[in-house]
């Protein structure tokens, strides 16, 4: 049956002209390969590219998989369509990183009805319906935000800036995504805790360099009295820094604007080394091995944890070195 199915799938891929990539050829397929359909948010950041590459580099034919990859280009509707196609293809597992937390009940109930296990990666889903997915692999985004605000608290205390107003610009990620929700909640909680912390602007940069540059530029037309810029990923930090420097502001925690970022991509860490980013909180995109471990356990009918957080750390501009950057995988 599975050989017949694979023939149908490969013929569908060959003729449907869609973006799915059959990561394997017909003649190499055999009954042991695990067929996985993967719907990715898009390619909006270096982080996302590294995340995609980790999944593709792990779910290979040599490792026992046929991988069908679909890039949703930032549209939830494209993810829903891709998941429905995977169901029709009767894949063994569905893997997806949900662009936003809500709006998945219907399609995931279709997957449940088809008895196809769903593994959620990176961002989480919010639903009142129980049992819509088998496992989640990703980050604790609130904890990432806490790491950032605790570092900022400590840094400002060392600078004796606990009384005077601290003007904070907040550039958020894609609204409604788990990464944005968690990182925003941590900052907003810290602002409510510190009477001298003032949120002077809060706008969406959509996790992209271009949007953050545009948003930071418009904020700078209103005020240049900025002490901290809290960016929810490296792409936004790079865009914001470009706008700040064009406006004549210095990005440096000692005598300029304190820029905080997330992801810790190699490019973001280079900015950290140059002290343009004061703190960079890692968000680990290398989730392929975690996915492989969970699927292989499920195949062996072994118990798995439903929620699996990936290991992460943080880097500050006072202790980071070029060697630390050079050994990074992304």
Interacting residues toward ligand GZL by CB under 6 A: 44-45, 47-48, 122-123, 139, 177, 179, 207, 233, 235, 262-263, 283
**Nearest CB to ligand GZL, comparing residues 139 and 275:** 139
Place of tokens 């709006």: 103
Residue 132 is encoded by which pair of tokens?
């819509």
**Nearest CB to ligand GZL, comparing residues 6 and 231:** 231
Alpha-carbon distance of 49 to 45, in angstroms, equals 6
Sign of the Cα pseudo-torsion (220, 222, 228, 234, in order): negative
**Nearest CB to ligand GZL, comparing residues 85 and 174:** 174
DSSP three-state, residue 113: helix
**Nearest CB to ligand GZL, comparing residues 138 and 253:** 138
Minimum distance between the CB of residue 179 and ligand GZL, rounded to whole angstroms? 4
Say which residues have a Cβ less than 8 Å from residue 195's Cβ, sequence separation at least 6. none
Closest of 142, 155, 138, 84 to residue 116, by C-alpha: 84
**Nearest CB to ligand GZL, comparing residues 89 and 174:** 174
**Nearest CB to ligand GZL, comparing residues 5 and 267:** 267
Minimum distance between the CB of residue 158 and ligand GZL, rounded to whole angstroms? 28
DSSP three-state, residue 72: coil
Minimum distance between the CB of residue 207 and ligand GZL, rounded to whole angstroms? 4
**Nearest CB to ligand GZL, comparing residues 8 and 210:** 210
Sign of the Cα pseudo-torsion (135, 208, 235, 249, in order): negative
Place of tokens 């280009």: 73
DSSP secondary structure letter of residue 128: S
**Nearest CB to ligand GZL, comparing residues 91 and 212:** 212
Residue 314, strand partner residues: 281
Please count the residues of the chain: 330
Ramachandran sector of residue 115 (left: φ over 0; alpha: ψ -120 to 50; beta: rest): left
Minimum distance between the CB of residue 182 and ligand GZL, rounded to whole angstroms? 9
Minimum distance between the CB of residue 67 and ligand GZL, rounded to whole angstroms? 20
Do 7 and 90 touch, CB atoms closer than 8 A?
Answer: no
Alpha-carbon distance of 39 to 82, in angstroms, equals 6
In sequence order, what DSSP letters do the residues of 225-288 get, joined into one string? --SEEEESSHHHHHHHHHHHHHTT--B-TTTSBEEEEEE--HHHHHHHHTTSSSEEEE-----H
**Nearest CB to ligand GZL, comparing residues 46 and 70:** 46
Minimum distance between the CB of residue 239 and ligand GZL, rounded to whole angstroms? 12
């Amino acid at each position: 049956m599975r050989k017949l199915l694979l023939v149908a799938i490969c013929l569908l891929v060959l003729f449907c002209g869609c973006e799915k990539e059959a990561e394997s050829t017909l003649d190499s397929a055999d009954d042991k390969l695990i067929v996985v359909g993967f719907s990715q948010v898009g390619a909006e950041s270096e982080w996302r590219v590294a995340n995609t590459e980790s999944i593709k580099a792990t779910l290979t034919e040599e490792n026992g998989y046929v991988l069908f990859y679909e890039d949703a280009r930032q549209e939830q509707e494209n993810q829903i369509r891709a998941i429905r196609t995977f169901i029709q293809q009767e894949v063994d597992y569905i893997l997806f990183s949900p662009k936003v937390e809500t709006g998945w009940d219907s399609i995931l109930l279709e997957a449940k009805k088809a008895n196809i296990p769903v593994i959620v990666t990176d961002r989480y889903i919010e639903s009142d319906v129980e049992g819509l997915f088998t496992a989640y692999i990703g980050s604790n985004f609130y904890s990432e935000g806490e790491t950032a605000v605790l570092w900022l608290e400590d840094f400002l205390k060392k600078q004796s800036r606990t009384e005077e107003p601290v003007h904070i610009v907040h550039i958020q990620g894609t609204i409604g995504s788990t990464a944005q929700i968690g990182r925003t909640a941590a900052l907003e909680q810290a602002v409510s805790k510190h009477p001298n912390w003032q949120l002077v602007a809060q706008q969406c940069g959509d996790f992209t360099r271009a949007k953050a540059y545009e948003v930071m530029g418009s904020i700078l037309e209103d005020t240049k009295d900025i002490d901290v810029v809290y960016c929810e990923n490296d792409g936004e930090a790079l865009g914001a820094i470009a706008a700040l420097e064009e406006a004549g502001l210095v990005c440096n925690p000692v005598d300029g604007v304190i820029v905080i970022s997330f992801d810790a991509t190699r490019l973001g860490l280079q900015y950290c080394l140059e002290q343009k980013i004061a703190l960079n909180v890692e968000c680990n995109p290398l989730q392929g091995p975690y996915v492989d471990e969970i699927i292989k356990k499920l195949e062996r009918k072994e118990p798995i944890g439903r929620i699996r957080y990936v290991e992460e750390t943080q880097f500050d501009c006072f202790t980071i070195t070029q060697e630390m950057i050079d050994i990074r995988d992304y």
